[in-house]
Structure 1
Amino acid sequence: MPQRSVRVVMPGGVDDPAAPSGGNIYDRRVCRDLPRVGWQVREHAVAGDWPQPGADARAELARILRESADGTLVLLDGLVACAVPDIIVPEAERLRLAVLVHLPLGDETGLAPGPAATLDAAERRTLRAVAAVVATSEWAADRLVDHHGLAPGRVHVAAPGADIAPLATGTGSPLRLLCVASVTPRKAQDQLVQALAAVADLPWSCLCVGGLGQDPEYVALLRELIGERGLGDRVHLVGPRSGAELNASYAAADLLVLTSHAETYGMAVTEALARGVPVLATAVGGLPEAVGRAPDGSVPGVLVPPKDPAALTAALRRWLSDPGERHRAKAAARRRRTALDGWEATSRSLAKALEQLRQEPRRAA
C-alpha cells in the first residue's frame, strides 16, 4: 500500500444528479482533490438507505472494513458510519478510522423523539470509538465535542470551499429570489412561503431548487401551501439542478434565501457569495460562518433568528423595498467573494487531519 493512502467510504448515489446534497458534493470533491495534495484515494460507495441500512448495505460496509489490512486509514461519511456502531466499533482498534460528520443524525428535522434518541446514541458510540472526527465548521466541531463528550484534539475542521464564478447579473425587476436546498422540513421552505405571502404586494419571484424525493409528504404540503397563498405563479419548485443549469440559476439571482432550522455549514451560501449574490439566512448552526464577513467587516446580507416568521418577513420586506439595502448587501457580497477559501483549503485541512491520524501510534487491541 502506498505510504499516504486513504479509503473513503460514502453513501451510494453520491453522483446521482437526481439527489444532489451538500454532503455528496463535498465527498466527491475531496476524493477528487486529495490526490493533488499527495494522497491516493480508494473510493467505496455503499448503496443503502442510510442511516437505516438494510442487511445488504450492512454486509457490504462490514466487508470493506474486514478486508482492509491492519492499520489502514479509512475515512467514513458519517451518514454511513454513525448509525452502525456494531460494525464500526469492533474495527476501531485494528484500523485507523476517521468519520466525516456533515450533519449529526439526531439533528434531522421531523424525527420522532424515540428514533432521534436512538440515532444520537448510536452516533455517540461510533464517534467515541474512532480515532478522529472531521466536522465541516467550527460550530459543528464545538457541538460534537460538547454533545458527545469528545476530546477536542480528536475533532478537526475542514470547511467546504467555493469556486469563484462570474458575477451574477440578477434580474432587477421583479427581483429574483433563489432557495437552493432539498425540500424537507429541516430546510423550512414552508416558513419561507409564509413570509413571501406576507410581502406579496412587492415585486418578486422565487425559484426553489432542490431534491423533491426525500420527503414527498412535505413536498405535497408545501405545494398546497403555495396554492392556498395564491403564489403558484411566483414560487416555483423546480427540483434538483446541477452543472450549467444550476449555474444559470445562481447567475439570475438577486438574493439567496435559506430558512433552515439546522445547518452545520450551508454550501449554498458560499456558492451564492462566490457569484456576488447576497444572502438572507437564519442564524443557525454554521450558517453565520458560511455567510461570514467581507474584508472590511461588512456582512454580505442578513441573518435572522430561526423559527421567527416576523423577523424573516421584516427582513424580506426591507430588502425588497429598500434599494439602498440591496446595494449595500450586493457590494458586501462582492467583497466577501474575493475572500472565500477555495476547495484546496478544504483538502489541505482534511489532509492535515489524515496525516495526524496516519502518524499516531496504533492503539493496543
Structure 2
Amino acid sequence: MNRLLYFAYPGDLETRTGGYGYDRRAASALGDLGWNIQLISLGEGFPNPNPRQLDDAGRRLSELADDSFVLIDGLAFGVMDEWASREAKRLKIMALVHHPLALETGLDSGQQAAAAAREKTALAQTRGVIVTSHATAAELAAHYAVPAERITVAIPGMDPAPLAAGGGDPPLILSIGTLTRRKGHDVLIASLEKLRDLRWNCRIVGSKTLDPGVAAELERQIAQSGLGDRIELTGQIDDTRSEFAKADIFALASRYEGYGMVFAEALAQGLPIVGCVAGAVPDIVPKSAGFLVPPDDRQAFAAALRRLLEEPETRVSMADAAAIAGAKLPSWRDTAVIISNFLEEAR
C-alpha cells in the first residue's frame, strides 16, 4: 500500500515554537506508523508573505504530480486560498490548523475579516482538517464553514519528564513563549511590578527574533520597571525541560492559544499555572492545577501570582494536581494514530 504523504510547512521546521514542534513530532511519529513522509518547506514570509514568496510557495506545491496527497500547515495554508482553489481538483489537500490566522493578536477588525475570509476559502478546498484542540475545532465549524465530520482533533503528545523539584528560595516564576504580542509577556511584567513586596525571580524564555519590535518593547518595560535584577529575558533555549524542572510556578498571559503546548508541558512536570481564559487554555489546565483569569487583566493576573507566592500549601496542592493531569496526556504515538486514521479515511 502506498502511504506517501507530502507534509508542507512554512519556513524552517526547526523553529522553536509549539506549532513547529507539533509538526516535527507528528511527521516523525507518522513515519513510525508506516507513512512515507516527504517534507516540503514553503519558504519564508508566512503568514504575511509578499507576492513573490506566495507565488514561490504555490509553485513548489504545484510541481507535485496529479492526485498527490499533501498536508499543509495552516500558518501557510491560511493565505494560500487562490492556489488551493486552482489545485483542489488535481491534488488531495489536507490542512493542519493550529489556530485560525484571524485570531492572531494585533490585527484590526478589517485585517481580521480579510484573514478569516481567505482562510475560509482555503479550507473549503480540503478533504479534511486536522486541529490541535477542541476549541479550534469548534471555531472552524462555527465560523469557517468546515463541516464537523471533516475535522479531527489530535491534541499534541507529551513525552515523560521529571517533575519539578519546587521549593525554590526565592520561588522561580517561569514563562515560555516567543516574544510576540499574542503571548502577553507585557501583562506578566506589569503584574510582577505589583508584587515588588514579595520575594521571587522570573525567567522569560523565548525567541527574540520572530518579532524584534516586541522584544525591544519588553526589554524597555523591564528596564523602566526597575526589576531588571529579578526578571530575565533569556532568549531561545532548546532544553526547556530543564527550565521547567527548576521552576516553582509557570505563568503565561497568552491572549489566545490554539492549544498551548507549554501549558501541557508545565502540567507534565508538575507546575502550578497562572494563565488566561483564552482559546484552548481552559481545555488544558484544570481548575485544580492553576488560576486562569481574563486576558489582559493585569490586576487579576497579579492577584493569582500573589496567592501562589504567599500560600505554599496552595502551590503544593496545585502542583500535585498538575502532575496528575499531566500523566493523563497522550503520547505522540497516540496523536499520530488519530492523524493516521483520519488521513486513511480522507485519501
Q: What is the TM-score of this pair, normalised by structure 2?
A: 0.96
Shift of residue 286, structure 1, vs aligned partner: 0.5
Amino acid at match of 2:312: P
Q: Does 1:264 align with 2:253?
A: no
Bigger drift between 82-91 and 59-68 goes to 59-68
**Equivalent in 331, 342, 348 of residue 337 of structure 2:** 348
Query: Separation in 1 of the partners of 2:295 and 2:8?
Result: 33
Amino acid at match of 1:323: P
Query: Separation in 2 of the partners of 1:110 and 1:171?
Result: 38
Q: Could you say which residue in structure 2 is the equivalent of 1:141?
A: 137
Query: Separation in 1 of the partners of 2:304 and 2:11?
Result: 39
Query: Separation in 2 of the partners of 1:282 and 1:239?
Result: 23
Q: Does 1:5 align with 2:4?
A: yes
**Equivalent in 116, 119, 132 of residue 120 of structure 1:** 116
**Equivalent in 162, 168, 173 of residue 166 of structure 1:** 162
Aligned pairs for 1:242-281 within 5 A: 242-243=238-239, 246-281=240-275
Structure 2 unaligned segments of length 5 or more: list them. Answer: none
**Equivalent in 223, 226, 229 of residue 227 of structure 1:** 223
Q: Does 1:39 align with 2:35?
A: yes
**Equivalent in 38, 61, 66 of residue 62 of structure 2:** 66
Shift of residue 56, structure 1, vs aligned partner: 4.6
Bigger drift between 222-231 and 130-139 goes to 222-231
Aligned pairs for 1:96-245 within 5 A: 96-243=92-239
Query: Separation in 2 of the partners of 1:262 and 1:281?
Result: 10
For the Cα contact (< 8 Å) 2:58–2:80, is it kept in 1? no
1:70 partner SS: coil
Q: Does 1:330 align with 2:345?
A: no
Query: Separation in 2 of the partners of 1:314 and 1:225?
Result: 20
For the Cα contact (< 8 Å) 1:48–1:54, is it kept in 2? no
For the Cα contact (< 8 Å) 1:65–1:91, is it kept in 2? no
Q: Could you say which residue in structure 2 is the equivalent of 1:308?
A: 297
2:232 partner SS: strand
Q: Does 1:21 align with 2:17?
A: yes
Amino acid at match of 1:290: I
Shift of residue 87, structure 1, vs aligned partner: 0.9
Amino acid at match of 1:109: T
Q: Does 1:92 align with 2:88?
A: yes
Query: Separation in 1 of the partners of 2:213 and 2:56?
Result: 31
For the Cα contact (< 8 Å) 1:191–1:259, is it kept in 2? yes
**Equivalent in 328, 334, 344 of residue 339 of structure 1:** 328
For the Cα contact (< 8 Å) 1:171–1:252, is it kept in 2? no
Query: Separation in 2 of the partners of 1:62 and 1:286?
Result: 31
1:48 partner SS: coil
Query: Separation in 2 of the partners of 1:267 and 1:8?
Result: 21
Bigger drift between 56-65 and 309-318 goes to 56-65
Query: Separation in 2 of the partners of 1:323 and 1:23?
Result: 34
Amino acid at match of 2:248: D
Q: Alignment identity in percent?
A: 37
Query: Separation in 1 of the partners of 2:39 and 2:215?
Result: 33
Bigger drift between 52-61 and 220-229 goes to 52-61
**Equivalent in 257, 279, 294 of residue 285 of structure 1:** 279
Query: Separation in 2 of the partners of 1:315 and 1:7?
Result: 45
Shift of residue 28, structure 1, vs aligned partner: 0.9
Corresponding pairs, count: 347
Query: Separation in 1 of the partners of 2:65 and 2:197?
Result: 64
Query: Separation in 2 of the partners of 1:233 and 1:73?
Result: 53
Amino acid at match of 2:274: L
For the Cα contact (< 8 Å) 2:68–2:91, is it kept in 1? yes
- Cα deviation 1:177-218 (Å, max 9, x = unaligned): 110011111111111111111111111111000111222222
Shift of residue 115, structure 1, vs aligned partner: 2.9
| Runs of 4+ that moved beyond 4 A | none
Query: Separation in 1 of the partners of 2:78 and 2:62?
Result: 17
For the Cα contact (< 8 Å) 1:164–1:337, is it kept in 2? no
Bigger drift between 139-148 and 340-349 goes to 340-349
2:288 partner SS: coil
Structure 1 unaligned segments of length 5 or more: list them. Answer: 293-297, 359-365
For the Cα contact (< 8 Å) 2:99–2:258, is it kept in 1? yes
Query: Separation in 2 of the partners of 1:46 and 1:171?
Result: 46
Query: Separation in 1 of the partners of 2:37 and 2:272?
Result: 36
Q: What is the TM-score of this pair, normalised by structure 1?
A: 0.91
Shift of residue 111, structure 1, vs aligned partner: 2.0
